[in-house]
Structure 1
């Protein structure tokens, strides 16, 4: 870095560093051999369990060792302990994996082990306010949702954390109202419109609410169009916004809706004449009009509009020129 005096390493310093690195490698290889030999011998002891902890702290992607660890718990440690002790062991493993995730937030095997821990929490004593829901299990799953929210505060676009959040919400002993997830995703989206994972989560929640008739689809979709419109005008170059808009439009059976949204996007394009996503979206929706509503629209005009926009896109976005040429070549004018 500028302003920082660099210290020249001597030959002895370099040799000492190499020896330390070689020593670490040898320690790791010896530990690996020990753990794998114990696994082969079906060693389900607490000593073996502690060695897996040590090895996984060095290499959290060692999925064979994660599997061995679970077998030690199931075959060696759980049978000798009370349900309360099992709960404590699993709580300790959740704490251990939390530490691992802080350093390795995208290692699948760590997330997978957390899932296994949650699924093996014993029922435990229920509490009066929980009714028939076991206290340990509810407390653990509630805490897990809090943990994943903290992780998403640190990295709002970590798709592993979003996938895990969906898993936790689906498995909670006392289901969380889906409408509260709408509020959560809205907060995340308004904090950063380019959070594709939050948009995706929102689409999942709405699909569930609409399919179960817990939310009026027509009314709530209009709320979504208003939300997405604000996002479009805030950042017209963000792909995630346009992908969500296409999801809202759906198959394009509603001609009036298509024409309305084309007009909205055209207004934005008039303000942002070099907006690639505005142009692409108008072409996309006009082609849907041609395909689905050819008997009630001016096909010739729509085709001409699309050809003009595709020509502009070729100049504006030359890296995708061939794609735009291919779309222009294959415009389906439909029945006349």
Structure 2
């Protein structure tokens, strides 16, 4: 039996609060307009009863053990209710409750509701209050093992690392492990970018390491958009153009029709466009970019109009220079 179960039993037992003499001193507040609502919300008798008493204790600002137990009951009925969690925090502070026990309770709720924003926010506040992030890395790892793309877990992990300055090789190793398991995990790519951009930055040996590692993963799955986005992003962050190594890698992929992808062609177009924008608008660069954009219209028909726009933009830019 969890702490939440114990609190639930303590506050409601097996009957409604309106039938519990321990709550006789509280006048419940029911929704007066519920019956006349255009689209009435279906709710159980237990739900109506619990929240009627919850409204009453909020109105009188009661901060007691039974009020805390009532918030447990209400959270069980609707764990996404912001007011329930906010008022629970008010009570915890007033009572001087054991926040580490509350973190255990919060963990149990998150495990049952891993994508509930309100509960994750509650956990963040608790960690801020305790100033103890020692369990958060392992906790988020456990959640991400079940769902490696859980946005709330990633957001919490980023906050913990940034707030408590937990930058380090361990977090880079963590992202690398996840990418080895699933290189299409866009969240892991984003996390890796987050760690590096907030520590060493993408320069020198770091940039070279990241380029090499990314090219290796692209070679395994050339149709994976996430890795191409990462490659473009780190080059942009570093203010670098694609190196000869990267250009040759792209040409090697392009030579094999089975390994061509819209992401490869788009990256090649961006590289050529950058050269053209910098004045290197040699005929072969323009012709190659136009050819690639024509091909993109065929292999990526969903964005055909965008690729046509890109083609016309390059052609118009070159024409304007000739006219000038």
Structure 2 length-normalised TM: 0.80
Matched, 1:90 2:99: yes
In the TM superposition, residue 24 of structure 1 has moved relative to its aligned partner by 6.7
Q: How far apart are the structure 2 equivalents of 1:249 and 1:335?
A: 27
CA RMSD of aligned residues (A): 2.2
Measured against aligned partners, the alpha-carbon deviations of 1:143-192 in whole angstroms (never above 9, x if no partner) come to 122111111222111121111111112233xx435222111111111111
2:231 matched residue in structure 1: 245
Q: How far apart are the structure 2 equivalents of 1:98 and 1:38?
A: 26
Matched, 1:231 2:250: no
Q: How far apart are the structure 2 equivalents of 1:195 and 1:94?
A: 28
1:74 matched residue in structure 2: 93
- Asked if structure 2 preserves the Cα contact closer than 8 Å seen for 1:61 and 1:107, the reply is yes
1:219 matched residue in structure 2: 205
- Asked if structure 2 preserves the Cα contact closer than 8 Å seen for 1:258 and 1:289, the reply is no
Q: Give aligned pairs, total.
A: 278
The structure 2 residue matched to 1:42, chosen from 49, 61, 64, is 61
The structure 1 residue matched to 2:254, chosen from 241, 256, 269, is 269
Structure 1 length-normalised TM: 0.77
The structure 1 residue matched to 2:163, chosen from 149, 166, 171, is 171
Q: Which runs of 5+ in 2 are unaligned?
A: 1-40
| DSSP-derived class of the 1:330 partner | helix
2:183 matched residue in structure 1: 193
Q: How far apart are the structure 1 equivalents of 2:240 and 2:68?
A: 60
In the TM superposition, residue 274 of structure 1 has moved relative to its aligned partner by 3.9
1:161 matched residue in structure 2: 153
1:4 matched residue in structure 2: none
In the TM superposition, residue 328 of structure 1 has moved relative to its aligned partner by 0.9
Q: How far apart are the structure 1 equivalents of 2:69 and 2:264?
A: 57
2:140 matched residue in structure 1: 148
The structure 2 residue matched to 1:299, chosen from 282, 285, 295, is 282
Larger displacement relative to structure 2 (176-185 or 239-248): 176-185
Q: How far apart are the structure 1 equivalents of 2:238 and 2:209?
A: 18
In the TM superposition, residue 201 of structure 1 has moved relative to its aligned partner by 1.1
Q: Which runs of 5+ in 1 are unaligned?
A: 1-21, 79-85, 122-136
Pair 1:252–1:303, CA change in 2 (3 A): farther
Q: How far apart are the structure 2 equivalents of 1:111 and 1:259?
A: 45
Superposition misfits of 4+ residues, deviation over 3 angstroms: 251-255, 257-260, 332-336
Q: How does 1:195-210 map to 2 (within 5 A)?
A: 195-210=185-200
Q: How far apart are the structure 2 equivalents of 1:205 and 1:198?
A: 11
Q: How far apart are the structure 2 equivalents of 1:273 and 1:328?
A: 23
The structure 2 residue matched to 1:288, chosen from 262, 274, 277, is 274
In the TM superposition, residue 250 of structure 1 has moved relative to its aligned partner by 0.8
2:8 matched residue in structure 1: none
